[in-house]
Amino acid sequence: MPRSPLPDPASSDERFEELVAEAAAVPVDGWDFSWLDGRATEERPSWGYARDPRQARADAVAAGLDVVDLRSERLRTEFFDIRAVVCFLREVIWMVPGFTVEAYRPRLRELHRRIGSEGRFVAHTARFLIKARKPA
């Protein structure tokens, strides 16, 4: 079976610059993630978002609360182009503290090429839910 021709690197580089420029112009204030529509998929936990479950439990107990539920999930996110990655990292600032396109341009270009050859970039995150109540 004949192999598909490799993408033209110059064309890929031009597309990279276009997508990065678009991503830089996207407003990322607030919690509107509509710019990901069609460009990425993200599994969402069946609750909200939080950080370290052990610390959350310890903090709740230290505050005199009874922990009645503590759950965690590992979630998959798929990015289908570099624009979605850049928008995501601009919006979700705690994922890569200090992220800027210029600081990460070489790595973003590599990732752009990877997405072009593999069709997507898959990342995973871990989230947890804690429910606590005041003792009766």
Distance of alpha carbon 56 from alpha carbon 131, whole angstroms? 10
Q: Model pTM?
A: 0.57
Residues in CB range of 51: below 8 A, 6 or more apart? 128
Model confidence pLDDT, tens digit, residues 2-31: 444 444 545 677 888 888 888 878 777 766
**More confidently predicted of 72 and 2:** 72
Q: Give the pLDDT confidence score for residue 45 in this predicted structure.
A: 62
- Beta strands at 121-133 and 40-42: parallel, antiparallel or unpaired: unpaired
Which strands sit side by side in the sheet containing 40-42, from one edge to the other? 40-42, 66-79, 121-133
Residue 99 has pLDDT above 60, yes or no: yes
Cβ atoms within 10 Å, residue 49:
10
What is the token pair recorded at 135? 């003792």
Model confidence pLDDT, tens digit, residues 34-49: 666 777 766 666 655 5
Q: Give the pLDDT confidence score for residue 46 in this predicted structure.
A: 61
Region 84-106: what's the mean pLDDT? Answer: 91
Helix and strand element counts for the chain (H, E): 4, 3
